[in-house]
Amino acid sequence: MPAERYRERGGFFVDARMKHGLEELPFQEVSAPPEVVLFLRQHIGPAGKPLVREGHRVRAGQKVADSDDPLGVPVHSPVSGTVVGLRELPHPMSGRPEPALLIRTEDEGMPTPADEQDPDKLPPEEILARVREAGVVGMGGAGYPTHAKLRSGRGARFLLINTKESDPNVACDVRLLRERAEEVAAGIGVLARALGEPQVLVATRTAPGELPEFERLAQERGFRVVHIRPCYSVGSERLLVPEVLGFEVPLGRYPPDVGVVVHNVATAYAAGQAVRYGLPLVSRGLTFWAQDAGGRNLWVRVGTPVRHLLAFMGLAEERFSRFVFGSALMGWAFPEAGIPVVKTTTGVVGLGREEPSPYARPLPCMRCGYCDRVCPVRIYPSLILAAVKKGDGRALRRLHLEACIECGLCSYVCPARILFTPLLRDGKAFLRVQALTKG
């Protein structure tokens, strides 16, 4: 039975009841929307350049945008139809307006799989090329291009698969392990081959025996399944490594620097589909949750507006005031249902009109220190807040703002209802600009 509350550093709890039991619900396949809204950027890295124009006919799985930047990945159409325009919309990953292709759906058919390839017969470079060509990116929320992460992690000692699924509103990763265990295991094998066959560990919040098929496949393939304590912040790569492997990732370094490559379980699944069947990443599993409607696991095409998900579930749009994309604690909230799912969307939370933002009327900081006690990376958000407001770059560096994982726990516990995350992001952007201008 999954825990209902996550105990965090400092003795605080994050309420996980919103996903309690949700992993029992099978994915429901959502139909294609009448119009797909496909952002040209679906990951961390530059947006792709459109390869099609208004009036062009496209088929499902056709590449419609690409970039020659090392961190660029292509975007593919999830439907067959006609391009009807390019529009700027707030992006679920940045909150800022970014360009998206509009494609009118004319045929709901999905891309056709090619003849199965045996990944064990493919050289690692070919695996990387196939992963990139299919547009695979980190699907746990961060969106780092998978081919680039595999390239930088070659020769790593450990491949750590993250099925920790920390966010209190997300159950789609565990559901994926239950429903598509064989494909996930094969995908993990693909990633391991690309990295040079490191030791594979799969970190999960489930208890032993709760994933019987996957646990059997893992044993057959020599993966070690590690059942870790339920705790919200430990889903972050930087904290997952010490939790599972017992050593730290030093400040300013990344897991590959200490011989570890971390991939989300949905990314492993998508990489497997890309390499084995040549299938581009055009759909994914996610969890929708709302207070009175409960939760659902949905299998959704990338580019599907939330409005279409609501129609599919029979929920009236008018009852919601805004939608949070991804983590309930970290994601951006949008007041309209036209925003679409992207490759990194693990979940959507619908907030009702009777659920006002708790951060709408913040009070002055009362120096209670709760935010400092709960911060999982042991920095001091209360002091950082003051330094951001003063624009004091020297203090921000001294306080190690760059270590912040943007987990949102400081906002979650703050009795003055101060929303830290935008301020922390502003502070990081300020430091980046300062570093650039100093040469």
Provide, rounded to whole angstroms, the least separation between the CB of residue 380 and ligand SF4.
8
According to DSSP, the residues that pair with 98 across neighbouring strands are 89
80: contact with ligand SF4 by CB under 6 A: no
Residues 378-437 close enough to bind ligand SF4 by CB under 6 A: 379, 381-382, 385, 404-410, 413-416, 418, 420, 424
CB closer to ligand SF4, 367 vs 394: 367
CB closer to ligand SF4, 277 vs 359: 359
Structure tokens that stand for 161 in this block: 């698969």
The one-character DSSP state at 229 is -
Provide, rounded to whole angstroms, the least separation between the CB of residue 431 and ligand SF4.
14
DSSP one-letter string for 184-204: HHHHHHHHHHHHTSPEEEEEE
424 touches 388 (CB < 8 A): yes
Other CB atoms within a 10 A radius of the CB of residue 222 amount to 11
Structure tokens that stand for 78 in this block: 């999830």
CB closer to ligand SF4, 169 vs 206: 169
Residues 352-381 close enough to bind ligand SF4 by CB under 6 A: 365-371, 375-377, 379, 381
Distance CA 273, CA 131 (A): 9
Provide, rounded to whole angstroms, the least separation between the CB of residue 410 and ligand SF4.
3
Q: Which residues contact 284 (CB under 8 A, 6 or more apart)?
A: 139, 172, 266, 270, 299, 300, 302, 341, 343, 345
According to DSSP, the residues that pair with 320 across neighbouring strands are 352
Distance CA 187, CA 273 (A): 7
CB closer to ligand SF4, 179 vs 406: 406
Provide, rounded to whole angstroms, the least separation between the CB of residue 262 and ligand SF4.
17
Residues 85-104 close enough to bind ligand SF4 by CB under 6 A: none
Provide, rounded to whole angstroms, the least separation between the CB of residue 238 and ligand SF4.
10
Provide, rounded to whole angstroms, the least separation between the CB of residue 190 and ligand SF4.
32
Other CB atoms within a 10 A radius of the CB of residue 118 amount to 8
Size of the site for ligand SF4 (CB under 6 A): 28
CB closer to ligand SF4, 5 vs 9: 9
The binding site for ligand SF4 (CB under 6 A) comprises: 365-371, 375-377, 379, 381-382, 385, 404-410, 413-416, 418, 420, 424
